[in-house]
């Protein structure tokens, strides 16, 4: 006999699972223990406050800690080039001095104060690193011009290029030459400077695919020789960067897939296709960064509302619960950032919108407390639950006695689905605290743009 479980639209409910699988831990060779259940928050200092300074952002640390944020990723904090600058303030990613502090944000002591305060309150703090190119007025331009890539046809230093060495419109930056050993060693020493001088906990590496795997293997090993727990995030989807011991790579493909599924009504089967490719190409212990927003998407491709409409929370639930995922929150996402922030000028986030911190706090706590959702292979195996509905994605993850089951409805309408492949168990509705019973197969009603999460067992 089928059991029908019904949920009010406001009562974020439910989940189910297929039979648990035996999961053997892969060796965690280099991930720091503190990253096991961590999440990440991207900080856009320029746009965060009217002042746009380290000191002004520092006042937000208690709020972010209360929301459950673990890792703060600061967009580039170094001085921005003046020569060939774009806009009034220029691109964050046109670095004039790898060891300097952008005076727009404060001085060295202001930055040190922020790092120290973050550590005292329990955060880890990583900074953006831009190895692919520099500003045209970086000291290397005159002191070491051989550090730059020269066009073979003209002998001239070229504009910044993408990670396939194709020309771009990045006219405000000059391409570095990764066949020059002295330049590569200078990069390593500059990274160590931030670790030694300010005790940053790691780096988000911009365009990490623009350099060779060998360079990153040597560099990361060198950095970990100074701090074994340095955390490395690659803005790249090249699987081989995990072999170079990056902790995490970007889930760009998953992000664009979410835009299609949540915003354009694409079939959720594409998620299964993606996971199959990921299982084939990426190591089980490799973290993937999943997100519904970041500085690139917000500034260049539109707001979350424009891209996925009312499915923001539903989509973020997948970012929190999917296998190997570490979720990212962008500045202002917790108040429903509703404008594309200008990239080259001041454009302060409006913090007066209704707070969504309760949702994000509860979502991040799910990641922290459920062992099945731990990052990389620390977490449990993911098993699909059949829903026979192109707008509903459902799965379970199991680690020991802990089961987390998730249903997400990307449709703008309430739906009643027949499901199969769940784990027959007693659960707790994560968002309401209500007890719920789920059978192996049955029927369930999901609210429009809704998500349902059930948990069971020890965490």
Identify the domain boundary among 378, 413, 429: 378
Q: What band does 28 get if pLDDT is binned at 50, 70 and 90?
A: low
pLDDT on residue 458: 73
Alpha helix stretches (DSSP H) within 121-239? 140-143, 181-198, 213-226
Question: Do residues 134 and 281 share a domain?
Answer: yes
Distance (Å, rounded) from C-alpha 86 to C-alpha 290? 29
**pLDDT value at residue 9:** 31
In 3-state terms, the chain is what percent helix, strand and coil (to 5)? 35, 20, 45
Distance (Å, whole) CA 96 – CA 138 = 4
How many structural domains compose the chain?
2
Query: What is the torsional sign of CA 381, 385, 386, 387?
Result: negative
User: Do 164 and 242 share a structural domain?
Assistant: yes
Q: 143-180 pLDDT, tens per residue?
A: 999 999 999 999 999 998 877 778 888 999 999 999 99
Q: How confident is the model at residue 79 (pLDDT cuts 50, 70, 90)?
A: very high
CA distances, 373 to each of 22, 364, 402, 457, 459 (Å): 15, 11, 9, 13, 9
Do 303 and 229 reside in the same domain of the chain? yes
Structural domain of 5 = 1-23+380-459
Q: Is the pLDDT of residue 194 over 90?
A: yes
CB 150 within 8 A of CB 157: yes
Q: Do 61 and 163 belong to one domain?
A: yes
The pLDDT > 70 percentage for the chain reads 94
pLDDT value of residue 25: 38
Tell me, yes or no, whether 15 and 35 share the same domain: no
For residues 424 and 343, membership in a common domain is answered with no
Half-sphere exposure of 121 (CA within 13 A, CB side): 23
β strands within 18-130, DSSP E: 40-43, 71-74, 124-129
User: How far is it, in rounded angstroms, from Cα 310 to Cα 294?
Assistant: 18
pLDDT band at 365 (very low <50, low <70, confident <90, very high): very high
Report, as an integer, the average pLDDT of 88-110.
98
Do 274 and 328 share a domain, yes or no? yes
Q: Give exposure, 128-138, as e/b (b: 16+ Cβ within 10 Å).
A: bbbbbbbbbbb
Strands (E), 209-270: 231-234, 248-250
Q: Can you tell me which residue has the tokens 């990490």?
A: 208
Half-sphere exposure of residue 444: CA atoms within 13 angstroms, side-chain side: 36
pLDDT digits (tens, 9 = 90+) for 375-405: 998 999 999 999 999 999 999 999 999 999 9
Q: Which CATH number goes with the domain that contains 435?
A: 2.60.40.1180
pLDDT recorded at residue 165: 78
From 343, 378, 413, give the residue that closes a domain: 378
Cα 282 to chain centroid, rounded: 17
Q: Which of 309-318, 341-350, 355-364, 450-459 has the lowest mean pLDDT?
A: 450-459
pLDDT score recorded for residue 20: 30
316 and 450 in one domain?
no
| pLDDT bracket for residue 22 (50, 70, 90) | very low
- How sure is the predictor about 236, in pLDDT bands with cuts at 50, 70 and 90? very high
Examine the domain organization and report whether 17 and 57 are in the same domain: no
- How far apart CA 95 and CA 144 sit, in angstroms, is 16
């Amino acid at each position: 006999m089928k059991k029908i479980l019904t949920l009010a639209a406001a009562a974020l409910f439910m989940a189910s699972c297929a039979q648990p699988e035996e999961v053997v831990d892969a060796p965690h060779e280099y991930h720091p223990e503190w990253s096991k259940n961590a999440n990440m928050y991207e900080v856009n200092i320029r746009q965060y406050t009217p002042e746009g300074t380290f000191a002004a952002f520092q006042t937000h640390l208690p709020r972010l800690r209360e929301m459950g944020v673990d890792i703060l990723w600061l967009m580039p904090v170094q001085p921005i080039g003046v020569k060939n600058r774009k806009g009034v303030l220029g691109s964050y990613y046109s670095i004039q001095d790898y060891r300097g502090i952008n005076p727009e944000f404060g001085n060295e002591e202001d930055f040190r104060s922020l790092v120290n305060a973050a550590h005292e309150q329990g955060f880890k703090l990583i900074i953006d690193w831009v190895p692919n190119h520099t500003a045209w007025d970086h000291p290397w331009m005159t002191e070491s011009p051989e550090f730059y890539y020269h066009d073979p046809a003209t002998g001239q230093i070229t504009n910044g290029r993408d990670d396939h060495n194709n020309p771009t419109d990045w006219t405000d930056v000059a391409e570095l030459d990764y066949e020059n050993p002295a330049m590569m060693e200078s990069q390593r020493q500059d990274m160590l400077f931030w670790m030694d001088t300010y005790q940053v906990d790691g780096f988000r590496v911009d365009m990490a695919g623009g350099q060779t795997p060998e360079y990153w293997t040597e560099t990361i090993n060198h950095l970990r020789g100074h701090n074994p727990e340095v955390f490395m995030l690659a803005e790249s989807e090249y699987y081989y960067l995990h072999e170079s011991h990056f902790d995490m790579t970007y889930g760009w493909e998953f992000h664009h897939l979410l835009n299609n599924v949540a915003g354009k009504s694409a079939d959720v089967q594409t998620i299964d296709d993606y996971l199959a490719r990921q299982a084939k190409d990426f190591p089980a212990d490799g973290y993937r960064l999943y997100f519904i927003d970041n500085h690139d998407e917000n500034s260049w491709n539109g707001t979350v509302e424009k891209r996925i409409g009312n499915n923001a929370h539903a989509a973020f639930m997948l970012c929190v619960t999917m296998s190997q995922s570490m979720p990212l929150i962008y500045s202002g996402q917790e108040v429903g950032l509703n404008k594309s922030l200008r990239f080259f000028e001041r454009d302060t986030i409006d913090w007066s919108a209704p707070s969504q911190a309760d949702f994000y706090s509860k979502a991040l706590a799910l990641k922290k407390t459920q062992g099945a959702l731990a990052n990389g292979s620390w977490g449990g195996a993911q098993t699909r639950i059949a829903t026979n509905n192109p707008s509903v994605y459902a799965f379970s993850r199991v680690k020991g006695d802990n089961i987390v089951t998730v249903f997400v409805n990307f449709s703008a309408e309430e739906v009643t689905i027949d499901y199969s492949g769940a784990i027959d168990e007693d659960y707790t509705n994560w968002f309401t605290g209500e007890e719920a019973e789920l059978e192996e197969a049955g029927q369930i009603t999901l609210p429009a743009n809704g998500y349902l999460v059930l948990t069971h067992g020890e965490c």
